[in-house]
Amino acid sequence: MKLLENISLAGSTTLGIGGPARWFVRAWNELDIVEACDWAHARGLPLFVLGGGSNVLIADEGFAGLVLHVGLKGAERDGEMFRFAAGESWDHCVGRTLGANCAGMECMAGIPGTVGGTPVQNVGAYGQEAASVIERVRAFDLTERAFVEFSNAECGFAYRRSRFNTADKGRYIVTRVDYRLRRDGAPLIAYQDLKAHFADRMNTPTLAETADAVRSIRRNKGMLLVEGDQDAHSAGSFFKNPAITEAAAEHLRNVAASEGAPFRDFPEKSGLVKVPAAWLIERAGFNRGYAMGAVGISSRHTLALVNRGGATASEILELAERIRAAVEARFGIRLEMEPELVGFA
């Protein structure tokens, strides 16, 4: 275990923002994780687990404890089951499943970050989510100081939620995730953007073609990490799509009709209706390309707050709060932030 001190975290995040980690360690295997946790525990230091840094906003003051960067590598395949170590790049792992012509992740191509981050917020895109393919999650339990394994049902998955970012937040360090896919399965072409992409196709696209289409759609929206794309200096969607009551959704539909700005909503099993946060933000007066000093809204995606160069975490947070206040004032809906805030008082 190699302990480093006062390491800037900005370069380890897709936003390119964040002060220093007082202590920093990169874990290459499970033993490193145990050692690092013991070291922090013995000194009473707080611990933060960092993956690809694509869903975090780290404070300008940095983090006063130990930042443990998960670097565990490894990939195994047993038929339709893929076992990936937590530090593997998610997108590379999607590529491996496509290479084996296995279905289930093709719509999640191009999501940045690590395998370890996928069960935490149950990542998802274009109609697919990690929960639909995760079979098992292996993790280090900081409370019991032992490795444990969770079945899919035990992970408590919901929209952008799991036990790892709700009830047990901060308790587990994911070291491996097992995914079960469908060999030679058909791709999922459920979302409008994807349907439109393949509108002229007579036959079903392959899994690889579907993933390529997803990447191309993401690139056009600035939601793919592409060198030099200013709009990609984000943490992805900064706000979750809120789930509201049918009566509240009906009110929004009426507003949409009277303002000539229609949107699509998605009824959920719970009886609530998921509505697009982007629509709420735009109707509250914040549009793509909005700028506030060095921070702003992506010019191609309303939900992505971006660092236009030299931005601070407090500036991002200030813009996020202004947007939330405007949406709440107009619609009475409090938007929930998606990235984890790290090191804020």
- DSSP, collapsed to helix, strand or coil, labels residue 57 as strand
Please tell me which residue in 132, 234, 237, 298 is annotated as part of the active site: 237
Cα separation, 55 vs 312, in Å, equals 16
Q: Which two tokens stand for residue 215?
A: 């990447």
Identity of the residue, 146 or 247, whose beta carbon is nearer to ligand FAD in the bound complex = 146
Q: Residue 122, by phi and psi: left (phi above 0), alpha (psi -120 to 50) or beta?
A: left
Residue 84 amino acid letter: F
Q: At its nearest, how many Å lie between ligand FAD and the CB of residue 165?
A: 6
Identity of the residue, 93 or 174, whose beta carbon is nearer to ligand FAD in the bound complex = 174
Q: At its nearest, how many Å lie between ligand FAD and the CB of residue 206?
A: 21
Catalytic residue list contains 338: yes
Q: Which two tokens stand for residue 275?
A: 């509505």
Neighbouring-strand partners of residue 139? 148, 174
Q: At its nearest, how many Å lie between ligand FAD and the CB of residue 223?
A: 4
**Residue in 73, 328, 133, 111 with CA at minimum distance from that of residue 235:** 111
Identity of the residue, 53 or 343, whose beta carbon is nearer to ligand FAD in the bound complex = 53
Residue 75 amino acid letter: A
Please tell me which residue in 136, 138, 160, 324 is annotated as part of the active site: 160
Q: At its nearest, how many Å lie between ligand FAD and the CB of residue 332?
A: 26
- DSSP, collapsed to helix, strand or coil, labels residue 172 as strand
Neighbouring-strand partners of residue 307? 295
Catalytic residue list contains 96: no
Identity of the residue, 55 or 132, whose beta carbon is nearer to ligand FAD in the bound complex = 55
CA 6 to chain CA centroid, Å, is: 26
Residues that bind ligand FAD (CB under 6 A): 14, 49-56, 70, 86, 111-114, 116-118, 120-121, 123-125, 173-174, 223, 225, 232, 234-236, 340
Identity of the residue, 193 or 328, whose beta carbon is nearer to ligand FAD in the bound complex = 193
Q: At its nearest, how many Å lie between ligand FAD and the CB of residue 56?
A: 4
**Residue in 239, 194, 247, 183 with CA at minimum distance from that of residue 217:** 194
Which positions are catalytic? Answer: 160, 237, 338
